[in-house]
A = this chain, B = another copy of it.
């Protein structure tokens, strides 16, 4: 027995609910669920806890446990909002910190109460805000990536100019463009932002350039400010590389006032194994939104990656499901997308989507401006 003191706690009674898919028969799953309730909160042997509010309120509570297909069960567990301290990093920790280290546990659902959601501002623009800034009320938005790595900044800027002239709405850096000597960050951002501005003057449109913000955490804010001052209209950020809460801080920066596209680099291990990690809709939808993404990039089904159509549909749901005042955001499927996929993608995504075509635009031929215009007309002609 331990000699820990029993203290009465003052709690709001608000609780967040997480749903986990647990591998195992009913007895194994129950054991896993009960372990999870401790592991994600007090991380302490149940029999050594002082009686009272810690075991009764602070430890997670198993609400129900149901069979979920062969050899798996679904557990709904709730946690006092106070366990999160109202902070994103600790919310992530409560949801999936230590338990990520145990096999056969997947976080598949998330329901946050209003009191906790109110601690987060979420995306700056959200789906409607993009449309307003771009002046595109209805059709799918068109996005492409500046690449390949290795081209000098002037060549990349020339590509940007052609994309913008061709009617692309959002031109992002490839997420692998960092501060390489081929095209250093500041030179690249200045040239590409200038190229978009020049094209916008010619077209009368409001195309946005989004540099990839990466690099040292202690220089990130200065780099973001540089991008803003240079004329970038948004940022690309990979929370798997840089941190979800770092993205949240960028989104919350009113001095910056820039929308963010979130890129899934280095987050794949969270989703690729169906019995572990976090479900697609939770990590690329709900949590990306909570962390301030205005759009969430992910691999479309049937491209170079292995996501299924169902997993993409889950991400759509995560982008729009009600989360208090947190705005809905736009899914941005990419990863080997081609123009021939547009009709099929319109069927699944509808108009509330960003079509991200990278290499596929170059495939259409050497005249990039013409290729972009064709892409734009194709989307406009199909109900946009």
| Interface residues of A, Cβ cutoff 8 Å to B | 1-5, 7, 9-10, 35, 39-45, 48-49, 53-54, 57-58, 82-90, 92-94, 96-103, 145, 147-152, 155, 174-176, 178-182, 214-218, 238, 240-243, 245-246, 248-249, 252-253, 264-273, 276-278, 299, 304-307, 335, 358-359, 362-363, 365-368
Contacts and interface: CB of A to CB of B under 8 A. Distances in A.
B43 A174 contact: yes
5 contacts: A45-B363, A102-B306, A216-B248, A217-B245, A243-B245
B174 A272 contact: no
Contacts of A149: 41-43, 54, 58, 83
A96 B266 CA distance: 6
A87 B219 CA distance: 11
A63 B108 CA distance: 39
A99 B268 contact: yes
A184 to B, nearest CB: 8
Contact of A101 (B40, B89, B268): B268
Contact of A85 (B179, B276, B307): B179
A217 B35 CA distance: 30
Contacts of A87: 178-179, 214-216
A162 to B, nearest CB: 10
A284 to B, nearest CB: 11
Q: Of A148, A216, A306, which is in contact with the most chain B CB atoms at under 10 Å from its CB?
A: A148
A87 B94 CA distance: 30
Q: Of A49, A269, A299, which is in contact with the most chain B CB atoms at under 10 Å from its CB?
A: A269
B7 A98 contact: no
A178 B249 contact: no
Contact of A217 (B40, B96, B249, B306): B249
Given A5-B155, A42-B149, A266 B305 contact: no
